[in-house]
A = this chain, B = another copy of it.
Amino acid sequence: MIEMWELVGENDRRYSNFSWRIRMALRHKQLEVQYRPVLLTDKASIGFSGGKTVPVIRDGDTVVRDSWAIAEYLERQYPDRPTLFGGDTGQAVARFANNWVDRTLLAIAFPLLAGDALAVQRGEDHGYFAALIERLTGLTPPALKEHQGRNAERLAKAVDPARATLKRQPFLSGNSPAYADYALFSIYQWARIVSPLDLLADDPAMRDWCDRLLDLNGGFARDTPAFR
């Protein structure tokens, strides 16, 4: 069975958006997984990976870290399971979509949600995460909160290319979901888990797509501890 290390907050919230990409990818590949929750302040527990960030997986003797690298590993290692990319070209363009999520959307979603995310950290991680927020955004969590409305608008605007696509097809990946969807979904799943804000309340195309993702695999993503 594959083991996967991921962050955990208060009340067992599994809030790492990068880990959600791999949670979805593992289900897509119909692979069994044993989750290993870790705290932000407990880097030692993932030191064996050679890095300081989750997700990390161990599959037999193989350890892989970094969500994109893990997705590529799963596709290569389990070619007979449902594909995450639909071939070489699909994989290449999905890498672009994944980078768009990281560099365009997450750059907005982090300041948008970090203040709320702080409130669901476990006590041991609170100071560490508060310092991380200030280092990455230059603002204190209360100051960030004042920009939350504006950042929600920025995110809604930035996601427009996906919204336009989802008005023409049920998933970014076509008629069924694949990795590009999981990358985008990770932002909204993170929001569900850490924030009372409903980012998609007035966004039917995106909300319907998100609901389709939440319904997958018996609704396992919907059933995780979250605000909604």
Q: A86-B87, A104-B160, A161-B104 are in contact. Are A169 and B97 (CB under 8 A)?
A: no
Query: Which residues, 153 to 170 on A, are CB-close (under 8 Å) to B?
Result: 158, 160-162, 164-165, 168-169
Asked whether any CB of chain B lies closer than 8 Å to the CB of A178, the reply is: yes
CB of B161 within 8 A of CB of A96, answer: yes
Please give the residue numbers on chain A whose beta carbons come within 8 Å of chain B beta carbons, in ascending order.
Answer: 83, 85-97, 99-100, 102-104, 158, 160-162, 164-165, 168-169, 171-175, 178, 180
Of the candidates B88, B99, B103, B172, the one whose C-beta lies within 8 Å of that of A96 is B172
A95: which B residues are within 8 A, CB to CB?
165, 168-169
In the assembled complex, 6 residue pairs joining A and B whose CB atoms fall closer than 8 Å, in A order, are A87-B89, A89-B90, A89-B173, A89-B174, A92-B173, A99-B165
**Bound-complex Cα distance A89 to B90 (A):** 6
CB of B88 within 8 A of CB of A86, answer: yes
**Bound-complex Cα distance A164 to B171 (A):** 24
Return the chain B residue nearest A170 by Cβ.
B92
Give the shortest distance, in Å, between A185 (CB) and chain B (any CB).
Answer: 14
Give the shortest distance, in Å, between A60 (CB) and chain B (any CB).
Answer: 27
A99: which B residues are within 8 A, CB to CB?
160-162, 164-165
CB of B90 within 8 A of CB of A164, answer: no
A93: which B residues are within 8 A, CB to CB?
90, 93-94, 96-97, 172-174, 180
Given A86-B86, A93-B172, A97-B97, output 17 extra A-B contacts at Cβ < 8 Å. A86-B88, A86-B89, A86-B90, A89-B173, A91-B174, A92-B169, A92-B174, A92-B175, A93-B94, A93-B96, A93-B97, A95-B168, A95-B169, A96-B165, A99-B160, A102-B164, A103-B161
**Bound-complex Cα distance A100 to B166 (A):** 13
Return the chain B residue nearest A168 by Cβ.
B95
**Bound-complex Cα distance A89 to B102 (A):** 21
**Bound-complex Cα distance A96 to B160 (A):** 10
Give the shortest distance, in Å, between A198 (CB) and chain B (any CB).
Answer: 24
